[in-house]
Amino acid sequence: MRHNFGAGPCILPQEVFKQASQAVLDFKDGLSILEISHRTPEFEAVVEEAVKLVKELLNVPEGYSVLFLQGGASLQFAMVPMNLLNEGQTASYLETGVWANKAIKEVKNFGTANVVASSKDANFTYIPKDYSIPEDSTYFHFTSNNTIYGTELMTVPVTKVPVVCDMSSDILSRVIDVSQYDLIYAGSQKNIGPAGSTVVIIKDSILGKTTNKIPSMLDYKQHIDGGSMYNTPPVFAIYVAMLNLRWLKSKGGVAEIEKENIAKAKALYTEIDRNPLFKGTCAVEDRSRMNICFVMENPELEKPFLKFAEENGMEGIKGHRSVGGFRASVYNALPITSVHALVELMQEFAEKHQK
Amino acid sequence: MRHNFGAGPCILPQEVFKQASQAVLDFKDGLSILEISHRTPEFEAVVEEAVKLVKELLNVPEGYSVLFLQGGASLQFAMVPMNLLNEGQTASYLETGVWANKAIKEVKNFGTANVVASSKDANFTYIPKDYSIPEDSTYFHFTSNNTIYGTELMTVPVTKVPVVCDMSSDILSRVIDVSQYDLIYAGSQKNIGPAGSTVVIIKDSILGKTTNKIPSMLDYKQHIDGGSMYNTPPVFAIYVAMLNLRWLKSKGGVAEIEKENIAKAKALYTEIDRNPLFKGTCAVEDRSRMNICFVMENPELEKPFLKFAEENGMEGIKGHRSVGGFRASVYNALPITSVHALVELMQEFAEKHQK
Give the distance from residue B130's alpha carbon to the nearest chain A alpha carbon, in angstroms: 31
Rounded average pLDDT over B148-173: 97
Q: Are A53 and A246 in contact (CB under 8 A)?
A: yes
Q: Which of A21, A74, A316 is nearest residue B24 as measured by Cβ atoms?
A: A21
Kindly tell me if the per-residue pLDDT of A355 is higher than 90.
no
The CA R_g of chain A, rounded to the nearest whole Å, is 21
Q: Which of B9, B35, B315 is nearest residue A34 as measured by Cβ atoms?
A: B9
Whether B9 is in a domain gets the answer no
Whether B4 is in a domain gets the answer no
A247 is a catalytic site residue: no
Whether A2 is in a domain gets the answer no
Residue A240 sits in the same domain as residue A270: no
Residue B183 sits in the same domain as residue B302: no
pLDDT digits (tens, 9 = 90+) for A29-72: 999 999 999 999 999 999 999 999 999 999 999 999 999 999 99
Residues sharing a CB contact under 8 Å with residue B256, sequence separation 6 or more, in sequence order: none
Q: State residue B355's pLDDT score.
A: 59
Residue B52 sits in the same domain as residue B153: yes
ipTM higher than the 0.85 cut: yes
Q: Going along chain A, which residue ranges are E strands?
A: 3-4, 64-69, 90-95, 112-118, 140-143, 145-146, 151-152, 163-166, 183-187, 198-203, 278-280, 291-296, 314-315, 326-329
Q: Are B263 and B332 in contact (CB under 8 A)?
A: no
Q: Are A217 and A165 in contact (CB under 8 A)?
A: no
Rounded average pLDDT over B234-251: 98
pLDDT digits (tens, 9 = 90+) for A224-237: 999 989 999 999 99
With CB atoms and an 8 Å threshold, state whether B11 touches A232.
Answer: no
Which among A200, A216, A250 is the end of a domain? A250
How many Cβ atoms from other residues are within 10 Å of residue A284's Cβ?
Answer: 9
Residue B73 sits in the same domain as residue B199: yes
| pLDDT band (50, 70, 90) for residue B1 | confident
Whether A242 is in a domain gets the answer yes
The CA R_g of chain B, rounded to the nearest whole Å, is 21
Cβ contacts (< 8 Å) between B187 and chain A: which residues?
232
Residue A209 sits in the same domain as residue A329: no
Interface test with B, best of A15, A198, A232, A338 (most B CBs within 10 A): A232
User: Angle CA(A196)–CA(A68)–CA(A167) in degrees, nearest 5?
Assistant: 80
Q: State residue A354's pLDDT score.
A: 75
B190 is a catalytic site residue: yes
Residue A37 sits in the same domain as residue A153: yes
Whether B3 is in a domain gets the answer no
Which among B205, B222, B250 is the end of a domain? B250
Residue numbering of the annotated binding site of A for L-glutamate? 39
| Sign of the CA dihedral running B251, B255, B260, B265 | positive
pLDDT digits (tens, 9 = 90+) for A118-176: 999 999 999 999 999 999 999 999 999 999 999 999 999 999 999 999 999 999 999 99
Q: State residue A1's pLDDT score.
A: 79
Structural domain harbouring A279:
253-353
Q: Which of B2, B78, B234 is nearest residue A217 as measured by Cβ atoms?
A: B78
The pLDDT mean for chain A works out to 97
Rounded average pLDDT over B142-151: 98
Q: For residue B157, what is the domain's CATH number?
A: 3.40.640.10
pLDDT digits (tens, 9 = 90+) for A174-225: 999 999 999 999 999 999 999 999 999 999 999 999 999 999 999 999 999 9
Residue A117 sits in the same domain as residue A193: yes
The pLDDT mean for chain B works out to 97
pLDDT digits (tens, 9 = 90+) for B270-305: 999 999 999 999 999 999 999 999 999 999 999 999
> How many domains are contained in chain A?
2
Which among B200, B229, B250 is the end of a domain? B250
Whether A6 is in a domain gets the answer no
B73 is annotated as contributing to ligand binding: yes
Kindly tell me if the per-residue pLDDT of A264 is higher than 90.
yes
Give the distance from residue A234's alpha carbon to the nearest chain B alpha carbon, in angstroms: 4
Query: Could you give the CA distance from residue A309 to residue A19 in angstroms, rounded to a whole number?
Result: 30
Residue A161 sits in the same domain as residue A183: yes
Q: Among A338, A290, A332, which Cα is nearest to A313's?
A: A338
pLDDT digits (tens, 9 = 90+) for B320-333: 998 999 999 999 99
| pLDDT band (50, 70, 90) for residue B354 | confident
Cβ contacts (< 8 Å) between A329 and chain B: which residues?
none
Rounded average pLDDT over A97-108: 97
Between helix B302-311 and helix B336-353 the angle, nearest 10°, is: 130
Query: Could you give the CA distance from residue B263 to residue B286 in angstroms, rounded to a whole number?
Result: 17
Rounded average pLDDT over A16-30: 97
Q: State residue A285's pLDDT score.
A: 98
pLDDT digits (tens, 9 = 90+) for A234-248: 999 999 999 999 999
From the candidates B170, B182, B190, B203, which is the catalytic residue? B190
Q: State residue B304's pLDDT score.
A: 97
Q: For residue A305, what is the domain's CATH number?
A: 3.90.1150.10
